[in-house]
A = this chain, B = another copy of it.
Amino acid sequence: MGRRTIITGVPGVGKTTVIDGALKKLEEEGITYQSINFGSFMFDVASHEGKVKDRDQIRKLDRNVQKELQRMAAKAIAAIAGNVIIDTHCSIRTTKGFLPGLPEWVLTELKPDMLILVETDEDQILQRRLKDPTRIRDMEGGKSIGEHQQFNRMIAGAIATQTGCMVKFVKNQDFLLDQAIQDMTESLR
């Protein structure tokens, strides 16, 4: 049975860059991970079940149908034989509040071995978002980004208690990407 590691981080923290660097290092050591985006995986499950035709439709489904799709996706991921990285969100900021990305019914099926939070100073995240011209999402201030990161840590404590998984905070600071990749590699090794 492989290891299941959830990797999260607020938008703009550079999660994918760190994951890609760590997976490259691990491949050199003969360790392989399949990287799965939870949202995309769930869409595949939903379209296979005939529930939706495009990703936007998922948000408009009945809450209980969404819940069932999340559960099915988590179960299918847990059935994968080798090591798996699940790229997702601890929480998603919406105008109505934070929506948890890893509720109990997902965790119960997924049975993660580890949760990695990629973090850095909120000002650095703000700068990275401002420099990214493809980012059409609503801009938020540094204080708000800091609050989001803090809330994700609180969720991490709840996930650790509920699943017994390890929790690692990986800092992806400016000019220190190598260190971030090294830290993530250590946890995934």
Chain A contact residues, CB within 8 Å of chain B: 67, 91, 94-100, 102-105, 107, 114, 116, 147, 150-151, 153-169, 186-187
Contact = CB atoms under 8 A, between A and B. Distances in A.
A128 B167 CA distance: 26
Given A154-B154, A154-B156, A160-B155, A166 B104 contact: no
A151 B100 CA distance: 19
A100 B112 CA distance: 13
A161 B159 CA distance: 7
**Number of identical monomers bound together in the oligomeric complex:** 3
10 contacts: A91-B160, A94-B166, A97-B116, A98-B166, A103-B160, A103-B162, A150-B153, A151-B156, A157-B157, A158-B162
B166 A151 contact: no
Given A91-B160, A157-B158, A158-B160, 15 more contacts: A67-B164, A96-B186, A96-B187, A97-B114, A97-B166, A97-B167, A103-B160, A103-B164, A104-B163, A104-B164, A151-B153, A155-B160, A157-B157, A161-B162, A162-B162
